[in-house]
């Protein structure tokens, strides 16, 4: 599989988002998903301390086992774990990193990301603590998530992870141009638009049982306007022998600034579909058809 750069890291163009681990799937199901990802050529696993209240990191670490040396693990800190553990103060960053290392069962974090800005802490203090972790060999590269273009300019990051998909195009205004200017790799989360771009949702049809939409997630996404777009994109993909999901992922992969498309998965089948999608190289006309 094609790889791209996040600082010194060579990450697979298809990555695995691990937000389902410990929340929507258990340890055994996590292991089957991780096995399928590695078999499909994925070497980049993105998690966070808050996912599954720490269980995502635990399950991922156990599933990788001795294969840890062959893959790249990204995790995040900063969102509220409990009343005492959150934010970006230097002392907490060191505690959070040690806790993540312990849960992951590893001696290093390949990409350590601040999960959201902390306006109560000067960014230089946060960066100082992260640089200390790099010097100690506990972190290889430093990233951020949910940062604006202005906030990105204030830091020294190898990557930025924000929401981006065919449906959510907000980063194109200023965040993506700033990433290109600074040489910061971009990681899109929710690449399938909260499930809207999986192909499960069609206009005029009932919501699938057990789906995120039926559970009340993403009310701003599942609109008539967006369902009209889904119909058009589905027809475009099918006209070329592909699915809507493949179009959504390959469209992101067609952007050079995108280092890895980190779609989540609950089953080996979903992993395989996501990994296969990045191999479809969109033509320029196809990119224009979906809104380049």
Question: Is residue 24 included in any domain, yes or no?
Answer: yes
pLDDT at residue 73 is higher than 50: yes
Per-residue confidence (pLDDT) for residue 200, from 0 to 100: 82
Angle formed at CA 260 by CA 68 and CA 14, multiple of 5 degrees: 70
Burial of 165 (0-12, 13-18, 19+ CB in 10 A): buried
The residue among 54, 1, 10, 60 whose CA lies nearest residue 30 is 60
Token code pair at residue 34: 């991780």
Question: Is residue 222 included in any domain, yes or no?
Answer: no
Question: Is residue 66 included in any domain, yes or no?
Answer: yes
pTM of the model: 0.93
Catalytic residue (one of 51, 59, 92, 201): 51
Q: How confident is the model at residue 16 (pLDDT cuts 50, 70, 90)?
A: very high
CATH code for position 268: 3.20.20.100
Q: How confident is the model at residue 220 (pLDDT cuts 50, 70, 90)?
A: confident
Question: Is residue 207 included in any domain, yes or no?
Answer: no
Question: Is residue 223 included in any domain, yes or no?
Answer: no
The residue among 55, 101, 112, 61 whose CA lies nearest residue 81 is 55
Per-residue confidence (pLDDT) for residue 283, from 0 to 100: 78
Burial of 81 (0-12, 13-18, 19+ CB in 10 A): middle
Number of structural domains (the chain) is 1
Per-residue confidence (pLDDT) for residue 214, from 0 to 100: 47
Q: Side-chain half-sphere of 284: how many Cα atoms within 13 Å?
A: 0
Q: pLDDT tens, 173-219?
A: 999 999 999 999 999 999 999 899 998 877 666 666 655 554 555 55
Per-residue confidence (pLDDT) for residue 210, from 0 to 100: 58
Per-residue confidence (pLDDT) for residue 216, from 0 to 100: 53
Question: Is residue 258 included in any domain, yes or no?
Answer: yes
Question: Is residue 46 included in any domain, yes or no?
Answer: yes
Phi, psi of 224 (to 5 degrees): -60, -40
Q: pLDDT tens, 75-131?
A: 999 999 999 999 999 999 999 999 999 999 999 999 999 999 999 999 999 999 999
| Mean pLDDT value of segment 163-176 | 96
Per-residue confidence (pLDDT) for residue 100, from 0 to 100: 98
Q: Is 201 a catalytic residue?
A: no
Question: Is residue 217 included in any domain, yes or no?
Answer: no
CB 16 within 8 A of CB 261: no
Per-residue confidence (pLDDT) for residue 108, from 0 to 100: 98
The domain of 8 spans 3-196+244-286
Per-residue confidence (pLDDT) for residue 209, from 0 to 100: 61
Q: pLDDT tens, 139-157?
A: 999 999 999 999 999 999 9
Q: pLDDT tens, 233-277?
A: 999 999 999 999 999 999 999 999 999 999 999 999 999 999 999
Per-residue confidence (pLDDT) for residue 176, from 0 to 100: 98
């Amino acid at each position: 599989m094609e790889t791209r750069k996040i600082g010194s890291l060579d990450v697979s163009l298809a990555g695995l988002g691990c937000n389902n681990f410990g929340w929507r799937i258990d340890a055994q199901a996590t292991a089957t998903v991780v096995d399928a990802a590695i078999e499909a050529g994925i070497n980049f696993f993105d998690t966070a301390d808050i996912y599954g209240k720490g269980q995502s990191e635990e399950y991922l670490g156990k599933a990788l086992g001795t294969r840890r040396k062959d893959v790249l693990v990204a995790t995040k800190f900063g969102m509220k774990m409990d009343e005492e553990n959150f934010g970006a103060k230097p002392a907490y960053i060191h505690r959070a990193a040690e806790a993540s290392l312990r849960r992951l069962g590893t001696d290093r974090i390949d990409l350590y990301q601040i999960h959201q800005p902390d306006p109560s802490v000067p960014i230089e203090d946060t960066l100082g603590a992260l640089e200390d972790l790099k010097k100690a060999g506990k972190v290889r590269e430093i990233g951020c998530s949910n940062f604006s273009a202005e906030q990105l300019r204030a830091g020294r990051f190898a990557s930025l992870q924000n929401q981006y998909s065919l449906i959510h195009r907000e980063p194109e205004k200023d965040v993506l141009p700033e990433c290109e200017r600074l040489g910061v790799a971009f990681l899109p989360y929710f690449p399938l638009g909260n499930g809207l771009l999986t192909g499960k949702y069609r206009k005029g049809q009932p919501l699938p049982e057990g789906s995120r939409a039926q559970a009340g997630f993403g009310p701003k996404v599942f609109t008539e306007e967006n369902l009209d777009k889904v119909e058009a994109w589905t027809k475009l993909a099918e006209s070329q022998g592909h699915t809507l999901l493949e179009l959504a992922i390959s469209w992101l992969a067609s952007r050079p600034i995108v280092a890895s498309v980190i779609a989540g998965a609950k089953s080996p089948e979903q992993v395989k579909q996501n990994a296969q999608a990045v191999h479809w190289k969109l033509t320029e006309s196809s990119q224009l058809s979906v809104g380049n």
